[in-house]
Amino acid sequence: MSAIATDIDQICINTIRGLSMDAVQKANSGHPGLPMGAAAMAYALWTKHLRHNPKNPHWFNRDRFILSAGHGSMLLYSLLFLTGYDLSLDDIKQFRQWRSKTPGHPENTHTPGVEMATGPLGQGFATSVGYAIAEKYLSSYFNRPGHDIIDHFTLGICSDGDLMEGITNEAASLAGHLKLGKIIFLYDNNHISLDGPTSDTFTEDVVARFRALDWHVIEVNGMDVKEVDDAITVAKLHTEAPTLISAETIIGFGSPNRQNTHLAHGEALGPDEVKLAKQTLGIPLEPDFYVPDEALKFYREAVPKGAEEEADWDKKFAAYATEFPELAKELRALIKGDFGQAWIDALPVIDDKIATRASSGKVLNAIAASLPTMIAGSADLSGSTIITIKDDGQFQADNPTGRTMAYGVREHAMIAAVNGINLHGACKAYSGTFLVFSDYCRGSIRLAAIMELPSIYVFTHDSIGLGEDGPTHQPIEHLMALRAIPNLDVFRPADGHETAVGWKVALQSKKTPTLMVLTRQAVPNLTPSDVKNHPAEKGAYVLREASSKAKCQVVGTGSEVSVAVEAAEALEKEGIPTRVISMPSWLLFSRQSEEYQKSVFPKGLPTVSVEAGTTLGWAKYAQAQVGIDHFGASAPGPLLMEKFGITAAHVVELAKGLLAE
């Protein structure tokens, strides 16, 4: 094909190429190759298929578009600017600069129209599965015959790198199993990765793999707008399986010396090559960031078209609301993020000596009826993590109103799916697996924290207390390693009451994801029973005052709060007045006033911490620490607690040591 623009399609496509080259060149940093190679197929998708309203990026029934290959961000920024989102040409000129709307990789918190942060490969693809689950669940729950109120596609572009990542295979296998037919991914099959040709690393038959995963696969020339257009049309009609459109493209298309090589991938082309590329593509050399009037005019048709689409939907919704006023009211509230208050009133008071995972299961089933779009799920550990919502069955292709997901042994894809469901909106999704397996899904947990997304992740079996499974299954460093992630609430409740509080905080959170970290073993009830107005919401609090002016205090979390209490009682018996602090959440505590924080950890008051995990980090709050700085072992949990010194006696010893100093 000729690269020179001869028709409006080519002019529009080359506009993306020019903007992308120039932006990367100006920043002298970034990835020009993907936008230049994928411009044609993205153009086909965005101008001929994507249902969206640039003036209202939050329109609920829009198609979701995910650029999984986030390094090609200039492709997305070009499209957002051109189709009329709140992103200017000046913003594009600020590509990769301080506080611009055009950071190196797309960030939903920075840029209108960016659905989610992408960049770490595989995340976008896997998160898309969550979007599609939400669409399927919500449409099953809300739609009525003749009223397809929720009815949109989840579309995306992914790269070789995305498809090499394990998370993508997990997600694709899950999506195929669930027959999520409204997922359509364009695979930018350009045979080049950052280091060189994919013949060095990636010679599998991707098409056959995706067919084995029960996907519908179409192969096209990704440089041909018509072929891509037709393929998407076919994909949209094929709703029995997700579709992968494997599109052959040429990375860095138009750059005479770099196209089709890895030199086009991850760095600016250089001024000379930009010039040559513009000449090749028929783009005027001046000005930089050239946008032909006819291209802008064509792209901007998205604005009236989007307004019309949303207005049509509003009409549909009005008709729906007339016929189903209650459902419409419910959906309207959910779209606003209003999940009501009924579930808070339903929070139970759990006074049994049971594991916090069991308390959690009770909480969830007590509130589930009040939160009909709360979606559970686990990675083949529903029995152990007790996350199942009992009444509605499993979510499956033939039971889309089920709301406990069976994610299979796919921790990473599970967390990404939970994120996708929550990003979609109108749902509250949570996951369930063992704490030690947080190692398998940190990529997606971190991304939720970056995206300011209030996902909820249940992690049970939270210490050596799990016992016989041994060191590969016993978290040691995980609590602290997760607390280290910014904007992530690691909530480790001490008992059933704090567990209910944790769920309350997690479900009310607007911008912070929450880890509910729960025990396998039973714990006594120690904290106040008023779960609606509980000091645990402050992250840390004085659980027990000393009998007289405190000479020392013990701070514990989760199952070790009872160790702290026992130690304090022993110290009191020996005449040492001792306070006990329960500290379920470091993050929530850090958000309290300095005054409050000082009241819990007064300067100069000797403090011992006790937690069945690494002591790393505890020096911030305690001068002496009881913890475990080595791997666990296979033996019954109570014996391990004893052997590894997670005991009241050990706390007492360290407290006395501090007092003797």
Q: Which of residues 156-215 bind its own copies (CB under 8 A)?
A: 160-162, 164-170, 173-174, 176-177, 193-196, 198, 200-209, 211-214
Nearer to its own copies, 122 or 420 (CB): 122
477 in contact with its own copies (CB under 8 A): yes
What residues from 380 to 399 belong to the interface with its own copies (CB under 8 A)?
380-384, 394, 396
The pattern of x and - marking residues 261 through 300 that bind its own copies according to CB under 8 A reads ----------------------------------------
Q: Which of 452, 431, 390, 363 is nearest to 133 (CA)?
A: 431
Q: Which of 476, 500, 507, 651 binds its own copies (CB under 8 A)?
A: 476
Q: Which of 340, 344, 342, 349 is nearest to 499 (CA)?
A: 349
Q: Which of 333, 342, 619, 659 binds its own copies (CB under 8 A)?
A: 619
Nearer to its own copies, 97 or 279 (CB): 97
Active site residue 326: no
402 in contact with its own copies (CB under 8 A): no
513 in contact with its own copies (CB under 8 A): no
The three-class DSSP label of residue 340 is coil
Q: How far apart are the two ends of the chain, measured CA to CA in Å?
A: 82
Q: In terms of DSSP bridges, do strands 456-460 and 514-517 run parallel, antiparallel, or are they unpaired? A: parallel
Q: How many residues bind its own copies (CB under 8 A)?
A: 110
- Least distance from its own copies to the Cβ atom of residue 181, Å: 15
- Where helices occur in 509-579 by DSSP H, the ranges are 561-573
Contacts of 578 (CB under 8 A, 6+ apart): 546, 550, 551, 552, 553, 554, 567, 568, 571, 572, 655
388/385 Cα distance (integer angstroms): 8
Q: Which of 406, 400, 335, 340 is nearest to 367 (CA)?
A: 340
Which residue type occupies 54? P
Nearer to its own copies, 348 or 470 (CB): 470
Nearer to its own copies, 105 or 492 (CB): 105
Q: Which of 315, 329, 336, 643 binds its own copies (CB under 8 A)?
A: 643
Nearer to its own copies, 174 or 186 (CB): 174
- Least distance from its own copies to the Cβ atom of residue 147, Å: 31
- Least distance from its own copies to the Cβ atom of residue 612, Å: 14
What residues from 411 to 470 belong to the interface with its own copies (CB under 8 A)?
411-413, 436-437, 439-440, 442-443, 446-447, 449-450, 467-470
522/495 Cα distance (integer angstroms): 9
CB-count exposure of residue 159 (10 Å: 0-12, 13-18, 19+): buried
Q: What one-character DSSP code corresponds to residue 69?
A: S
The answer to whether the CB of 356 falls within 8 A of the CB of 523 is yes
What residues from 92 to 131 belong to the interface with its own copies (CB under 8 A)?
96-100, 103-105, 107, 117-122
634 in contact with its own copies (CB under 8 A): yes
Nearer to its own copies, 103 or 222 (CB): 103
- Least distance from its own copies to the Cβ atom of residue 186, Å: 18
Q: What one-character DSSP code corresponds to residue 205?
A: -
The pattern of x and - marking residues 310 through 329 that bind its own copies according to CB under 8 A reads --------------------
Which residue type occupies 129? V
Q: Which of 267, 309, 330, 411 is an active site residue?
A: 411
Contacts of 135 (CB under 8 A, 6+ apart): 150, 151, 152, 154, 182, 424
407 in contact with its own copies (CB under 8 A): yes
- Least distance from its own copies to the Cβ atom of residue 104, Å: 4
Nearer to its own copies, 211 or 332 (CB): 211
Nearer to its own copies, 210 or 343 (CB): 210
Nearest 5°: the CA angle 21, 23, 28 is 90
- Which tokens is 395 given? 């979510």
**Is there a cis peptide before residue 287, judged by omega within 30 degrees of 0?**
yes
What residues from 599 to 618 belong to the interface with its own copies (CB under 8 A)?
614, 616-617
228/231 Cα distance (integer angstroms): 5
Catalytic residue positions, numbered: 411
